[in-house]
Each structure stands twice: as structure tokens, then as C-alpha cells.
Amino acid sequence: MALWIIAFVVLIGLIGLAIAAVIVVAMVPGKIAQKRNHPQQEAINVLAWAGLLLSFGVLWIIALAWAYTRPLQRLQPQSASTTEPLSPNA
């Protein structure tokens, strides 16, 4: 009887450890994006959680890669003072 109790306690402990490992792994892309001050860190965090829980990790890998990328910078339009007026002969 004591062996059944010990086996049950070990089984519950392993299930708890597996749940904790999934939680830690799901948080990795969001933490990386936060550390790198990524402008889309909330979207990366959501994709990581959804990808790990819904797609068996496929989207989680995309979120991890996304956390390491740098977004493209928008080109600023030139102001009127820096552009030269067009000549009528041009």
C-alpha cells in the first residue's frame, strides 16, 4: 500500500514539473522580446503562447525567430525646407 502512495506522489510531482516546464518554455520568446525592447513584444508573447498550446510548437518557433528580428524602420518624408524647388526648365 505504501508503494502505491509513493508512486502516486511521484506521478503528481512529475505532472507538476511538466506543467511548469511548458509555462517556462512558453514565456521565452516574450521575455526575449521584452529584453530586446521589441516594439511588437505583446504580439510575440501572444503568438508564443498560442503556438505552444494550439499548434504543438510550430508558431512558437516563429515567435522565437520574430523576437530576435529588428523591425524595418519607416522612411521619414523629407520636409519642404530640405528639398529644392523644381525649376521650370527641368
Is this structure's pTM higher than 0.85? no
C-beta atoms surrounding 40 within 10 Å? 14
Taking 70 as the threshold, does the pLDDT of residue 21 lie above it? Answer: yes
What value does the mean pLDDT of the chain take? 85
> Residues 83, 84, 90, CA angle at the centre, nearest 5°?
130
**pLDDT digits over 43-75, tens only?**
999 999 998 888 777 889 999 999 999 877 776
pLDDT of res. 42: 92
- For residue 38, the surrounding DSSP H or E stretch is none
Q: Residue 80: its pLDDT value, please?
A: 56
